[in-house]
Chain A
């Protein structure tokens, strides 16, 4: 794409970085996946572009910072959106941060997630690769957590659902992503739950119960062959 350069190849598509309509922007292209049947591919792509846009807007309404959308182009299978300069992926941040800082960050993660769930937004793909920390003062420094704003991205698998079951699954997906990526996963997750409780007070008990249920289902699953 003219004026854009490949930034990274994410799980769902290619992310290009450039200037769009005069602003620093990301073009997220869900290119044709040749491995899947064309009908399935175009159906899924359309659904995911819609889900992603819808949740980004819904988050905004709820007071959760998400990238601004500049153009949603179904023909080019691309969303053009705000690029956050001076940002670091949470996965990389955790790898170099002290346990004390990580614990504070986890509280933040939980709070944002709790707020999302309180507004019936299920992210659907919670990993530390899908969260950014953006420096609020426009500096390329990530040493002080207080200067960093936490932003969730990659809403392609998200949906709107008020039931506790889906929220429990969302937490379960996050817990497992933490365990597989970070050595202090259980401490991080405990703090996430603490933060969650603060922002989703009324729903917390029920969601936690569902989460435990989903977790137990996973552990007890019999496997044959």
Chain B
């Protein structure tokens, strides 16, 4: 897992965990939607590096006004460069048939959320095998020229940081 410090103003920690072979995805999604479970489930295919989640979550938590209903939908929304809410949530969220997923929580203790997940936690380094760089470049509109000078993480987080006032 990764624990990341957010903006000093927020003064909260972000917890990121990666799971394999999760069996109760549909159940988890229902609980999140009903507000029983406070976390965000992210499709790891489009995540290059945990830092990408940190920047998106930090943006959600420092924002004065949110675009979406909860902090967790806001994180998903921020991950996408699209200004379209439903499209963003579909792009970065998970579907019932997903077995690999990233779990993002805010706060010191994420044991309550953890206890609900029926799957195997793995190191975040395993992202490298799951992520689809081609799909990431497409999702964030990163061309070949850009890849030559910036790392893909830098390109991705810079777009996340500016999505609300720049059309990407």
Contact = CB atoms under 8 A, between A and B. Distances in A.
Direct contact of A and B (CB under 8 A): yes
Interface of A: 1-3, 20-23, 50, 53-54, 56-57, 60-66, 68-73, 75-76, 82
Main SS class of interface, B: helix
Nearest to B8: A2
Contacts of B139: none
A71 B57 CA distance: 11
Contacts of A2: 8
Interface residues of B, number: 32
Nearest to B161: A69
B152 to A, nearest CB: 11
Contact of A69 (B9, B157, B168): B157
A62 B144 CA distance: 9
A70 B166 contact: no
Contacts of A60: 146, 149-150, 154-155, 158
B148 interface: yes
Q: Which of B7, B143, B168 neighbours the largest number of chain A CB atoms within 10 Å of its CB?
A: B7
Contacts of B168: 57
A82 B154 contact: yes
Interface stretch (B26-34, B58-66, B123-131): B58-66
Contacts, number: 79
Contacts of B162: 53-54, 57, 69, 72
B143 A61 contact: yes
A125 B165 CA distance: 23
Contacts of B6: 21
B55 A70 contact: yes
B159 interface: yes
Given A57-B158, A63-B145, A71 B7 contact: yes
14 contacts: A1-B8, A21-B58, A23-B51, A53-B162, A54-B166, A57-B159, A60-B150, A64-B149, A68-B150, A69-B157, A69-B162, A70-B55, A72-B161, A72-B165
A63 B146 contact: yes
B101 interface: no
Contacts of B58: 21, 70-71
A1 B8 CA distance: 8
Contacts of A75: 64
B4 A21 contact: yes
Contacts of A23: 51
